[in-house]
Amino acid sequence: MKYTTLPNTDIKVSKICLGTMTWGNQNTQEEGFEQMDYALDQGVNFFDTAELYPVPATADTYAETERIIGNWFKKSGNREKVVLASKIAGPGDYTAHIRTNGFKPEALNDAVNKSLERLQTDYIDLYQLHWPERQTNTFDTRDYKHNSEDKWQDNFNEILHTLDKIVKEGKIRQVGISNEKAWGTMRYLEESKKYDLPRMITVQNAYSLLNRVFEGDMAEIAMRENIGLLAYSPMAFGVLSGKYINGTAPADSRLKLFPRFKRYSSDSCSEATKRYLQIAEANKMSLAQMSLAFVTQQPFVTSNIIGASTMTQLVENINSINLELTSEILSQIKKVHEAIPNPSA
């Protein structure tokens, strides 16, 4: 395994992070336990979860993933071996079954306290805001369109003051953001500098061969401001395994179970995936490992969040840490990206 530190801290984390959003839906507790046991044995010491998980989010499965992790901590006694990240759910119809008061002080305190209880721990190493409260372009909305009817009011300072109190209580160690854009990222950084408040040290955004929009303004912010990317969906919901192109996807694969997650299923995504698959095969590697290695070795990536619904997938994904893409392979990848840039964005 390869390691780095969370930016501006001495917290050592593996370059591969174990994602958990299928546990409690596609995966049972026993399977989650098996994944955590194996990942830790392979040197993966960084686990990421959220109160929202598993995904798709429903009232019936709310926070089941955190409960599974908490039960594993209790059974294994491995809490101190793991750098644990979790998130408060952002506002919207998708999370109305959780709460409806966004990132208000009472919401943040409620979310942290309940996550600690479920996770059966006294502290969370990295606590993240799952997505912005304001209306902006996230997920498969390509461009920003301003909505003058948006009732959101600037509350960056209030949020950071609330998080500051929670940090001082010892309940969380560091803070980060997720699904955030350039403007929001800089606003948080400005407020923390001006008022000596907790600094957002990571941003957890989608990043893969099919979605490289982070390489725009966000990559410059990451490098100049030393805020690390925790890359999620590096396999584009499994599309970058090649199994959908090759027709080998099983009935319980993610996109067959949940077809509404279709942002990686467009014709342009399929064509780009075919071309990336050709590169991988010509260089005698799996598309999955090539896709993951590409993400891991980017200079702005702190850790690459992998997820797996089977142990076979998990083994292959973790083993991608041993692969270093040559300049020739990167050049071939660049040509595909230039021809079909960001097809899922």
**Known catalytic residues?**
53
- Nearest by Cα to 25 from 53, 50, 48, 59: 53
CA atoms within 13 A on the CB side of 169: 15
- Nearest by Cα to 338 from 282, 284, 275: 275
Q: Which amino acid is at 31?
A: E
Sign of the alpha-carbon torsion through 44, 50, 51, 53: negative
Return all residues near 44 (Cβ < 8 A) that are at least 6 apart: 1, 14, 16, 17, 18, 318
For every residue of 52-69, which 3-state class applies, written as one string? CCCCCCCCCCCCHHHHHH
Distance, first Cα to last Cα, the chain: 31
Cis amide leading into 250 (omega within 30): no
